[in-house]
Structure 1
Amino acid sequence: MTVRGRSAYPELAMIPPFPAASPLLEFCPPLFAEFSERPNRRALLNHFCNVMSHLIVFREESGNPFQQLVLPLTQKSGSVMNAIYALASAHMEHQGVDHPEKSLYFHNRAIQSLGKLIENNGKVNRNEILAAIMLLVYYEVLVQRGQSNIVAVHLKGALTVMCANPDPTDTTGAFLERAFRFYDVIAALSNGTAPLSAAPGPGCLLPFPPLGAPAASPLSNVDTLLGMATTLWPIIHRLSDLLPIKRDYDLAVRFNDAQPRIDALRAEFESAASSVETALSQWQPHLPPNFVPDGDDLTLGIPAGQNTSNSSNDTTAPGITGNTEPAHPPMSSSERARLHSILHNALAYRHSAFVYLYRTVYSYPRSHHAVQSNAHEALVHCVATVAYAGPMGALLWPLFAAACEAVATEDRSLAERAFSAIRKRQGMMNIERAWEIVQEVWRRADWADVVAGLPDEGRGRNSMYNGNFEQEEAETDLWRQVSKDMGVNIVFG
């Protein structure tokens, strides 16, 4: 008996990077005269290449993938070019920099060009369509226009393109599919909906490096878009699918469906949730060769009960999977700092995934130890990520998920510190909006505690079966109600 329809779309191809030469054409990126005669448009390209492209990747020791793989598509695609203009212009506008041509103008041109590309799908490069769509996803995430669901629409369009041409034959296609997979899961977590694609199996996602990256790079186990969370991402994908399963079960109970169906849905949910919880408990990041985290960092990512001692002669950190390759040359201080930042980012995802599981999926009260301890650990890792001043482009979801549940003054101070740092570094509207929502969540949660006298300690894992899902969801996902009241729909990319 099939109790819940699964995605009709086939598993996306998760293939290793191609050993292809760079498609970058022979032009001088800092000047950008080959792209446009207009100085303001050359300035936008400069901003995209020299500012924005660095804010949204973890790894670029041999070049930035957006410059190496996406920028060359603009030579033949007006849609990709206008999407880049729109993205760069929106980022500059948010920072108070004005241009004679507004981001909305370029956005509309990109949409029009994309429509023409799709009409001629059989005659154009698949990567041009996919690149334009994914750049428009980045744009929508950045500008955060009200309660628009356009990100979901774009992602469905991207999946349609990929399913029509399921096997990318080059590095650019594989990179764009990796970008899709990231936003597919982030949008699902943001909206409380199921991902569009099927979860990749363990070991299917290999770290995607920039073109020309050396095999012995200190970043060899770091993915361009997922950092050290490559092996964690299939678990996060399955996590994002739990809330829709929970809703299916609750609706079956509420409308008194046949008992066999209710029992089957309950078994499906319990099995899926338990599997995710076990996988999160067992997961540890796989560190690059010759990298041992600082002693104070080790205890932060190790499950309770494991040995946290560290020796200067160790080749791997206790409790964290290491690499048995021969020793590599010593890293520079900047390389070590970057790796520490990437490591803490991945660990923040792990602990915030627990917060989401216990709070949103299992409906534990905010005061529950499992919620508070993981929220604290996630916020500590978020602060460490920004303290090491490494990549911060993917930090918003774990920071937001943990910050919304912060109760202690210390934890709220950690959240404020991390938000301040990524707002300053990234300069994006969704970060500003997320911080506003967190503060309002704190205000309402504190007031509810005052009214109630004491936090509700009586709810736990079995509360999901009381048949009052709307009330539970309002309590456990207060931030969704706050977002609705503020008239915004944030995607935490």
Structure 2
Amino acid sequence: METPHLLYALLASSCSHHSRLIQDSSPKPKMICLKYTNLAIAGLREALCDPEQVTKPEIVTTAMALCTNDVCNGNMKIWRTHLRGVLRILMAVLEHQRVSLKVMNDPFIQCLVNWFKTMDILAALSGVHGECIHNPGNGPLNSLSDYTTRHVDDISGYSMELIPILAEVSNLASQIRLYEPGETAAGKEYIPSPETMMQADELESKLFQLLDRPVCNETLSRGGSFALELQSTHLAFVHSALLHLHRRVQLHPKGHIKVRTDVKNILDALSLIEPNSSMNILILWPIFSAGCETEESEERNTIFARMGNMQKLGMGNFTRSREVLRKYWISGSQLPWDIYLARLGLELVLF
């Protein structure tokens, strides 16, 4: 057992997922999960103090496994704090690895970088703060992220070209509110500037250009439905980015033709993913976004049923998000869901 801290981190994640899967809310599984988590943290701390261990990619893997478990537990504040720690560890490992040119083409390193970026961008998209911990535009990890790769990434479920665009959309949305500071719901509506609208139009054009991104040849060679479902996941994310742009930046109402088209396109993409497919793990942000922006009963029923199915598979954030979505529907609010939740002091982890 060369990396016990990684084993303990994975055992903690497995215990946490198993308790949700069998819906066991008793103290025992929580204590077992806590035991393995503490062992993983203790081992990680020890490894970080060992010059021979601190530069190994396995250390990053342990930190990211623990951080991913934070995601499953739904605590945004802890998640973002741990993401910052993961970034520091990742950068330290990469700095040491850069002495070897192999780091640029090492699939394990690429996997870690893409895994981190996937968690980071969804942390930014899960609320009103809208900022990535690592800047996808000019951050230090960019030399290891090929944003020009024109195929769908197997880890994130979408083309990596989408990440910097998502970050721009999220950043613009975080700067915009329906009402100016100090105004109430009866006050004046916020009107985006011409410059903001020009940026939004440019981002919209970039997003449309990503719709035709294929899966890679290696994925196609696997056969079966995996390639189609991966392609469908990518489309769901691109259309969700358009929905985010149209609702939170261009401020179109729910009934606007662009918003209605976005919701339909998301649901069409998700309909090509089998209900029990592992690909469903990736689609919480798209399906929750579509659910918040539709008032059609048939669409709501479809979304609620799909989220319920994932809830039965032990996906904890589907459980929380499904309940929040139900409350949002009952409220009848026309506010974008992120602003609605912020006013209630709520946060969701949509990953």
Q: TM-score range by the shorter chain?
A: 0.7 to 0.9
| d(CA) in 2 for partners of 1:226, 1:285 | 17
The residue number in structure 2 matching 1:150 is 78
More helix by share: 2
Question: 1:362: Cα distance to partner?
Answer: 2.4
| d(CA) in 1 for partners of 2:137, 2:252 | 28
- 1:353 corresponds, among 234, 241, 255, to 241
The verdict on how the C-alpha distance between 1:477 and 1:126 changes in structure 2, with shifts beyond 3 A counting, is farther
- 1:383 corresponds, among 263, 267, 271, to 271
**1:89-168 equivalences in 2 (<5 Å):** 89-96=15-22, 102-120=32-50, 124-145=54-75, 148-167=76-95, 168=97
Residue type matched to 1:285 in 2? D
Question: 1:196: Cα distance to partner?
Answer: 1.7
**1:339-488 equivalences in 2 (<5 Å):** 339-386=227-274, 389=277, 391-424=279-312, 426-445=313-332, 476-478=335-337, 481-482=340-341, 485=344
Residue type matched to 1:402 in 2? A
SS of residue matched to 1:392? helix
SS of residue matched to 1:223? coil
Residue type matched to 2:301 in 1? S
What is the root-mean-square deviation in Å for CA atoms of aligned residues? 3.4
| d(CA) in 2 for partners of 1:384, 1:123 | 44
Gaps of 5+ in 2: 98-102, 184-191
1:204 aligns with 2:131: no
What whole-Å deviation, never above 9, does each CA across 1:364-415 have from its counterpart, x for those lacking one?
A: 2222222122112212222322359462221111111111111111211221
> Normalised by the size of structure 1, how large is the TM-score?
0.58
What whole-Å deviation, never above 9, does each CA across 1:88-145 have from its counterpart, x for those lacking one?
A: 0000111236659521222233233333444456752342331122111210111225
Question: 1:491: Cα distance to partner?
Answer: 1.5
CA contact (8 A) 2:246 2:259 kept: yes
The residue number in structure 2 matching 1:18 is none
Gaps of 5+ in 1: 1-74, 208-219, 255-264, 292-327, 449-474
The residue number in structure 2 matching 1:226 is 156
| d(CA) in 2 for partners of 1:430, 1:480 | 19
The residue number in structure 1 matching 2:188 is none
CA contact (8 A) 1:363 1:476 kept: no
| d(CA) in 1 for partners of 2:36, 2:180 | 44
- The number of residue pairs the alignment matches comes to 323
| d(CA) in 2 for partners of 1:119, 1:191 | 35
| d(CA) in 2 for partners of 1:266, 1:481 | 23
Question: 1:224: Cα distance to partner?
Answer: 2.5
| d(CA) in 2 for partners of 1:171, 1:281 | 29
CA contact (8 A) 1:341 1:390 kept: no
Residue type matched to 1:171 in 2? P
The verdict on how the C-alpha distance between 1:173 and 1:390 changes in structure 2, with shifts beyond 3 A counting, is closer
Question: 1:187: Cα distance to partner?
Answer: 0.4
CA contact (8 A) 2:55 2:92 kept: no
Identity of aligned residues (%): 23
1:283 aligns with 2:210: yes
Residue type matched to 1:183 in 2? M
Larger radius of gyration: 1
